[in-house]
Amino acid sequence: MNENNLNEQEIVRRETLSKLYELGINPYPAEEFKFSHYSFDILNNFIDENPEKFNNVSLAGRIMSRRIMGNASFAELQDSSGRIQLYFKRDSICEGEDKTWYNTVFKKLLDIGDIIGVSGYVFRTQMGEISVHVKEFKILSKSIKPLPIVKEKEGHIYDAFTDPDQRYRNRSVDLIVNTGVKEVFIKRTKLTNSMRNFLNSRGYLEVETPILQTLYGGAAARPFKTHHNTLNQTLYLRIANELYLKRLIVGGFDGVYEFAKDFRNEGMDRFHNPEFTQMELYVAYKDYEWMMNLVEEMVEKIAIDLHGDTKLKVGENIIDFKRPWKRFTMFEVIEHFTGIDISKMDETELLKTAKELGVETNDSMAKGKLIDEIFGECCESKLIQPTFITDYPIEMSPLAKKHRSIEGLVERFEAICNGKEICNAYSELNDPIDQRKRFEDQLKLAKRGDEEAMMLDEDFLKAIEVGMPPTAGLGIGIDRLAMIMTDSNSIQDVLFFPQMRPEIKQNSSESADFEEMGIPSDWVNVIQKAGYTKVEELKEVNPNKLHQQICGLNKKLKLGLKNPTQEEIKEWVQ
RNA sequence: GACUGAUUAGCUCAGCAGGUAGAGCAUCUGCCUUUUAAGCAGAGGGUCCGGAGUUCGAGCCUCCGAUCAGUCACCA
């Protein structure tokens, strides 16, 4: 960070830093600060009749507001559990004659954003607010970058820090300043904990499988590609972990699951981030009917763990996760929403129907893809309450087992909720001959132009040739589920650090380039501040004008530098 | 990628028929011993996203570009 980028307020804060040092105060002390309470404990347990209980408390946190009134002042301290008001009184802070700690350190050298530790006693103000009467305070970390100040009165928020771009790029500030952001992430962790507990209680084993893979598979998506130097080999970041987990089922584990970061090199929007989290589960000797029951039970439990209720508000809707959820086959739900029975149609008829329904089509679409497109276009967004859609066309499910009774379909289901898929599951295909044929069909699709057709994975085939028990498999989108469970409108709201476009940096000359011209480093900053980012620009400027500009800035910014003479400047510029 | 909208002080945002910029908070200087979006008095702070054009004159109009947002498209 270059000095010339500092704004006035940042300069002021750096000055207060040096004043603290002059007073012998270390603004970044090394030693532990022991504190007795969190703000939450005090606010919840303080009883007016019995204030002695909180006669001597200490706590630490960040100053979020200050109201200074002569010899007494109020401030708000924010710790990890919430906020509490502090009361500073001059003669309590400074019992002797020397009032420096109140008049100077507290009033002049403390800022919003500073982290302090305080000790004192708890009381209730005339306005009825439980507060800590501070007897001693200590600076634990001085903040030299001003926070955006968000104020609130009667539930109304003023000057909110709302620009999504700024919030996501600067998540630390977002978490400090915007109430409710932390809760979303705490809920997300509760969600995964709840799910993990549920799976562990059933005896399934949490495992880890490779993220760097020589072949990507298990889903239809474009991958991120990287390179391993020692092996001199292309590797891919996984798009799914399905094929590895199934190998573990072959290996004799009856139930395995993984919370997996997967990576897909595709579009970004409020439902898609290039890296996202999926929980995949495989259980031997089960089928997709059994898995539907498990999903219902698990998600219902998560809703209760998070909200104490199966019902919750998501956007405009109340969603109820109470079992049992509705179940439709894909053909049924399409007929339900379009009035058209497509179950007997061939590819030509489907193409015609799709066009009639206003579904965009192209030549690479085969029968299965067309059905999926019709579903996606006409049904998915209308399914708000959790609903299972079952029995998908075989062409788009190369890893799922053929339906036990209906030709052309597979035993697959998705759960749709709030108009979006939240999970996908199959009775897993364990017939190695059929599996090989399905991979070969995918290759044909790829030749037809389907960029997402799956690759043939010889090692995986080898594994299931050894023999995989009948298995039910599930992939559940954790981010999507977290969005629903936290009523978030965008995936970026449930990811601490969502992928962002890189910030554009102006291509400017390095400070060293200016110094080579003979300009002292102190003045390089000033020149850059004056708007000259490239040395070439400086060579064209009138030296007298430059002299005036930078001397003016020196004065304006109170830099305290000794102004150069006009002759010196001419020498720089020549 | 398409369309629509946005970009003005550290933050949130005004601004007019095109006449050279304003509020609140934040900052700085005072005052104020229980306030709470504290208050009062004063001050500083802006290449009005960048570039070009029209004009006597552009924050405002036109064109080009950048970035962000929303919608759509793409995307299990």
Q: Is the ipTM of this complex over 0.85?
A: yes
Q: Is the CB of A152 within 7 Å of strand B?
A: yes
Q: Output the distance from A102 CA to B36 C1' rounded to whole Å.
A: 20
Q: What is the pLDDT of residue A505?
A: 46
Q: Is the pLDDT of residue A560 over 60?
A: no
Q: How many CB atoms lie within 10 A of CB A51?
A: 14
Q: Is residue A65 very low, low, confident or very high in pLDDT (cuts 50, 70, 90)?
A: very high
pTM of the shown model? 0.86
Cα angle value A450/A430/A366 (rounded, 5°) = 25
Minimum-distance nucleotide, CA of A424 to C1': B76
Strand, coil or helix: what is A363?
coil
Q: Is the Cβ–Cβ distance between A435 and A464 less than 8 Å? A: yes
* Element holding A369 (H helix, E strand): helix A367-378
Q: What is the pLDDT of residue A506?
A: 45
Q: What gap in Å lies between CA A189 and CA A539, rounded to an integer? A: 57
pLDDT 10s digits, A128-143? 999 999 999 999 999 9
Q: What gap in Å lies between CA A491 and CA A500, rounded to an integer? A: 12
Q: Output the distance from A530 CA to B64 C1' rounded to whole Å.
A: 27
Cα angle value A361/A367/A369 (rounded, 5°) = 55
Q: What gap in Å lies between CA A452 and CA A505, rounded to an integer? A: 35
Instruction: Choose the weakest-confidence range: A38-52, A65-79, A190-204, A442-456.
Output: A442-456
3-state secondary structure labels for all residues of A15-35: HHHHHHHHCCCCCCCCCCCCC
Chain A residues 237-256 within 7 Å (CB) of strand B? 240
The residue that minimises its CA distance to C1' of B47 is A531
Instruction: List all residues 6 or more positions away from A554 whose beta carbon is below 8 Å from its beta carbon.
Output: A526, A560, A561, A563
Q: Which of A511, A557, A555 is nearest to A533 (CA)?
A: A511
Q: Is the pLDDT of residue A539 over 80?
A: no
Chain A residues 322-361 within 7 Å (CB) of strand B? 360
Q: Is the pLDDT of residue A72 over 60?
A: yes
Through-space distance between the first and last CA atoms of chain A, rounded to whole angstroms: 29
Q: Is the Cβ–Cβ distance between A9 and A113 less than 8 Å? A: no
Mean per-residue pLDDT, A310-327: 92
Q: Is residue A3 very low, low, confident or very high in pLDDT (cuts 50, 70, 90)?
A: very low
Report CA A140 to chain centroid distance, whole Å. Answer: 29
pLDDT 10s digits, A92-102? 998 888 889 99
- Token output for A344: 């007997």
Q: Output the distance from A211 CA to B36 C1' rounded to whole Å.
A: 52
Mean per-residue pLDDT, A266-292: 93
Instruction: Choose the weakest-confidence range: A5-19, A180-194, A199-213, A286-300.
Output: A5-19
Minimum-distance nucleotide, CA of A242 to C1': B76
Minimum-distance nucleotide, CA of A272 to C1': B75
Q: Which of A195, A55, A63 is nearest to A120 (CA)?
A: A55
Q: What is the pLDDT of residue A186?
A: 95
Q: What gap in Å lies between CA A5 and CA A83, rounded to an integer? A: 32
Mean per-residue pLDDT, A446-469: 88
Q: Is the CB of A125 within 7 Å of strand B?
A: yes
Alpha carbons within 13 A on the beta-carbon side of A184? 22
Q: Is the CB of A277 within 7 Å of strand B?
A: no
Instruction: Choose the weakest-confidence range: A116-120, A148-152, A204-208, A420-424.
Output: A148-152
- Token output for A479: 């981010």
Minimum-distance nucleotide, CA of A124 to C1': B34
Q: Is the CB of A539 within 7 Å of strand B?
A: no
Q: What is the pLDDT of residue A328?
A: 94
Minimum-distance nucleotide, CA of A112 to C1': B26
Q: Is the pLDDT of residue A127 over 60?
A: yes
Q: What gap in Å lies between CA A142 and CA A562, rounded to an integer? A: 29
Q: What is the pLDDT of residue A511?
A: 57
Q: Is the CB of A65 within 7 Å of strand B?
A: yes
Q: Is the pLDDT of residue A8 over 70?
A: yes
Q: What is the pLDDT of residue A325?
A: 96
Q: Output the distance from A4 CA to B39 C1' rounded to whole Å.
A: 36
Q: What is the pLDDT of residue A514?
A: 64
Tally of helices (H runs) and strands (E runs) in chain A: 21, 20
Q: Is the CB of A262 within 7 Å of strand B?
A: no
Q: Is the CB of A475 within 7 Å of strand B?
A: yes
Q: Is the CB of A478 within 7 Å of strand B?
A: no
Q: Is the CB of A452 within 7 Å of strand B?
A: yes
- Write out the DSSP string of A127-174: T--EEEEEEEEEEEE---SPPPP-EEETTEEES----HHHHHHTHHHH
- Token output for A299: 């998600």
Q: What is the pLDDT of residue A449?
A: 73
Q: Output the distance from A491 CA to B8 C1' rounded to whole Å.
A: 31
Q: Is residue A515 very low, low, confident or very high in pLDDT (cuts 50, 70, 90)?
A: low
Minimum-distance nucleotide, CA of A87 to C1': B34
Q: Output the distance from A125 CA to B31 C1' rounded to whole Å.
A: 23
Nucleotides on chain B that have an atom closer than 7 A to a protein CB are 9-13, 24-29, 31-39, 44-45, 47, 66-76
Chain A residues 20-49 within 7 Å (CB) of strand B? none
Q: Is the pLDDT of residue A148 over 50?
A: yes
Q: Output the distance from A267 CA to B59 C1' rounded to whole Å.
A: 36
Instruction: List all residues 6 or more positions away from A303 whose beta carbon is below 8 Å from its beta carbon.
Output: A309, A310, A311, A312, A321, A485
The residue that minimises its CA distance to C1' of B7 is A163
Q: Is the pLDDT of residue A239 over 80?
A: yes
Beta bridge partners of A473: A282, A426
Higher pLDDT, A517 or A117: A117
Q: What is the pLDDT of residue A297?
A: 97
Q: What gap in Å lies between CA A402 and CA A409, rounded to an integer? A: 6
The 8-class DSSP code of residue A566 comes to H
Phi, then psi, of A305 in degrees rounded to 5? -60, -35
Gyration radius (Cα) of chain A, Å: 32
Instruction: Choose the weakest-confidence range: A129-133, A185-189, A318-322, A537-541.
Output: A537-541
Q: Is the CB of A490 within 7 Å of strand B?
A: yes
Q: Is the Cβ–Cβ distance between A104 and A68 less than 8 Å? A: no
The percentage of chain A sitting over the pLDDT mark of 70, rounded to a whole number, equals 86
Q: Is the CB of A366 within 7 Å of strand B?
A: no
Q: Is residue A315 very low, low, confident or very high in pLDDT (cuts 50, 70, 90)?
A: confident
Instruction: List all residues 6 or more positions away from A245 whose beta carbon is below 8 Å from its beta carbon.
Output: A207, A209, A256, A257, A258, A280, A282, A473
Q: Which of A113, A85, A109 is nearest to A176 (CA)?
A: A113
Q: Is residue A535 very low, low, confident or very high in pLDDT (cuts 50, 70, 90)?
A: low
In the predicted model, what is the mean pLDDT of chain A?
87
Instruction: List all residues 6 or more positions away from A361 whose beta carbon is below 8 Å from its beta carbon.
Output: A351, A354, A355, A370, A373
Mean per-residue pLDDT, A248-276: 92
- Token output for A69: 């009134």
Q: What gap in Å lies between CA A491 and CA A168, rounded to an integer? A: 11
Higher pLDDT, A522 or A331: A331
Minimum-distance nucleotide, CA of A266 to C1': B75
Q: Is the pLDDT of residue A47 over 50?
A: yes
Whether cis (ω within 30° of 0) applies to the bond prior to A520 is no
Q: Output the distance from A223 CA to B49 C1' rounded to whole Å.
A: 35
Q: Is the CB of A123 within 7 Å of strand B?
A: yes
Q: Output the distance from A531 CA to B19 C1' rounded to whole Å.
A: 28
Q: Is residue A2 very low, low, confident or very high in pLDDT (cuts 50, 70, 90)?
A: very low
Q: What gap in Å lies between CA A218 and CA A399, rounded to an integer? A: 8
Q: What is the pLDDT of residue A41?
A: 94
Mean per-residue pLDDT, A514-527: 64
Mean per-residue pLDDT, A286-307: 97
Q: Is residue A543 very low, low, confident or very high in pLDDT (cuts 50, 70, 90)?
A: low
Q: Is the CB of A531 within 7 Å of strand B?
A: yes
Q: Is residue A540 very low, low, confident or very high in pLDDT (cuts 50, 70, 90)?
A: low
Phi, then psi, of A124 in degrees rounded to 5? -115, 130
Q: How far is CA A322 from CA A153, A257, A311, A318, A554, in A?
A: 37, 24, 8, 12, 68
Minimum-distance nucleotide, CA of A13 to C1': B27
The residue that minimises its CA distance to C1' of B12 is A159
Q: Which of A260, A223, A265, A234 is nearest to A245 (CA)?
A: A260
Q: Is the Cβ–Cβ distance between A236 and A223 less than 8 Å? A: yes
Q: Output the distance from A68 CA to B40 C1' rounded to whole Å.
A: 13
- Token output for A317: 């809707």
Cα angle value A552/A554/A560 (rounded, 5°) = 145
Q: Is residue A489 very low, low, confident or very high in pLDDT (cuts 50, 70, 90)?
A: confident
Alpha carbons within 13 A on the beta-carbon side of A350? 23
Minimum-distance nucleotide, CA of A240 to C1': B76
Largest CA distance in chain A: 95
Q: What is the pLDDT of residue A112?
A: 94
Mean per-residue pLDDT, A457-470: 95
Instruction: Choose the weakest-confidence range: A203-217, A350-364, A422-436, A525-539.
Output: A525-539
